[in-house]
Amino acid sequence: MHRLFSPFRITLLLLAAALPCAGQPIVLSTSSVIGGGPIYDSPAFTGGSFPATFVVNEQTGAINNDVFGGNYWLGPDSVNSDYFVLDLGALYSLTQITLFNTHNANFNDRATSAFHITASNAVSFVDANHGFALDSPTTILSGTLTLPTDPPPGIVFTSGNGLSTDGFYRYISFTYDSFAGGAGGGLHEIRVEGAVVPEPATSALWAGAATLAVLAYVRINGMVPPAPVRGGGQRGGQGRGGPGAAPAPAPAAP
């Protein structure tokens, strides 16, 4: 008889729950920005009029036009490289990163050109101006952006165009390695998607529950596991000497 909620079906559900699901938008806020280099008008990554915290202030809906000193991040004048660090809040299998470049409001003179993104599961505190930096980072994406017009378009990166989806990470860092526009680099917004990875204790709990469900299914349905293979390559259906066992050799003739 078919059981809608048989232990076997419960097992499948438990195993599915133990695995990361499809990628979803990761909720980021200003508190997610935990580190970075100096910005256009301040030595602190959270200071001045163009702080790194602006890269997560438009996480849903249509992106806005650049508003001078209001919604995008800028590095210092003519500095070829600057960065910020994000705490995703949990361990994720990353599936998509979308970048919205800046053009510096009405001036059109500051934007990211070459960039790379690194990831890690550990950070170390640097100082009050720089906050935290990644420990032993792994590069998961590199590429090039162009100077945009308003509203800045979202450039989507997945495994199909360069994003490494191997590994599970909590922290990522964006770095521009060169700038477009002639005056400096920056970024309007970053959006990240991924599948949350269960904590080890949670995974072990699901796996244990799934194992118990399998055993219950076997017991309820009267299933008997096959007997182990014994010496000499012979299989005994019920153990040595039981039904299905190989016949004992005849005694030698006197």
CA 117/CA 138 separation, integer angstroms: 8
- Give the closest residue to 171 by CA, choosing from 115, 125, 102: 125
pLDDT by residue, tens only, the chain of 254 residues: 444 445 444 443 444 445 555 789 999 999 999 999 999 999 999 999 999 999 999 999 999 999 999 999 999 999 999 999 999 999 999 999 999 999 999 999 999 999 999 999 999 999 999 999 999 999 999 999 999 999 999 999 999 999 999 999 999 999 999 999 999 999 999 999 999 998 664 444 344 444 444 444 445 455 544 454 444 444 433 334 444 444 444 445 44
Crossing angle for the helix pair 7-18 and 200-220, nearest 10 degrees?
170
Report how far apart, in Å, the C-alpha atoms of 92 and of each of 97, 224, 234 are.
Answer: 13, 40, 48
- Decide the pairing of beta strands 24-25 and 169-176: unpaired
Query: DSSP letter at 233?
Result: G
pLDDT of 232: 43
Length of the chain in terms of residues written: 254
Question: What is the three-class DSSP state of 7?
Answer: helix
